[in-house]
Structure 1
């Protein structure tokens, strides 16, 4: 297995972790002698006050759309492009 496959596998693994598991993984990496060097390059963890980007709370609940918008967003975009630009889109 090449490093590229390992890299992709790790991305998929981290994507499936819960927030608690991600924090635990970060802690394990920072405490490992070999991996800690990579962790030093990470940006500092935000404080609780900085954890939510400014303006995000105002956005939550502001999106109106069908209930399956998240699952079918590509389909909705295609439909809208066809409405605007015809079959060329």
Structure 2
């Protein structure tokens, strides 16, 4: 297993964590002597919010609701088409 493979695997793993799991992982990192030094070198992209959000408020305002089916990005055309058809049927 190469370092590049490890990096990709960890990247995909972190992407699948829930917000609670991400906060737990970050706590583990900050409590580890070696990893905490690396964590201190990375700027805080969470915006320092008191509510524990992992993204800055400006991103959340731009993105709107991020609650969607897992395949929303791949099937967005289908979802839009279905919504338009439902609205058309409701108006008839």
Q: Normalising TM by the smaller chain, what interval?
A: 0.5 to 0.7
SS at match of 1:47: coil
Aligned equivalents of 1:18, 1:54: Cα separation in 2: 18
Matched, 1:14 2:14: yes
Bigger relative CO (Cα 8 Å, ≥ 6 apart): 2
Matched, 1:70 2:73: yes
Corresponding residue for residue 53 of structure 1: 58
SS at match of 2:10: helix
1:70 is displaced (CA, Å) by: 3.0
Gaps of 5+ in 2: 66-70, 79-92
1:56 is displaced (CA, Å) by: 0.8
The TM-score, its normalising length taken from structure 1, stands at 0.58
Gaps of 5+ in 1: 62-67, 76-89
The TM-score, its normalising length taken from structure 2, stands at 0.57
Higher mean alpha-carbon deviation, 48-57 vs 22-31, is at 48-57
Provide closer, same or farther for how the CA distance between residues 14 and 55 of structure 1 changes in structure 2, counting only shifts above 3 A.
Answer: closer
Corresponding residue for residue 26 of structure 1: 26
Larger radius of gyration: 1
Provide closer, same or farther for how the CA distance between residues 2 and 47 of structure 1 changes in structure 2, counting only shifts above 3 A.
Answer: same
Aligned residues: 68
Superposition misfits of 4+ residues, deviation over 4 angstroms: none
SS at match of 2:7: helix
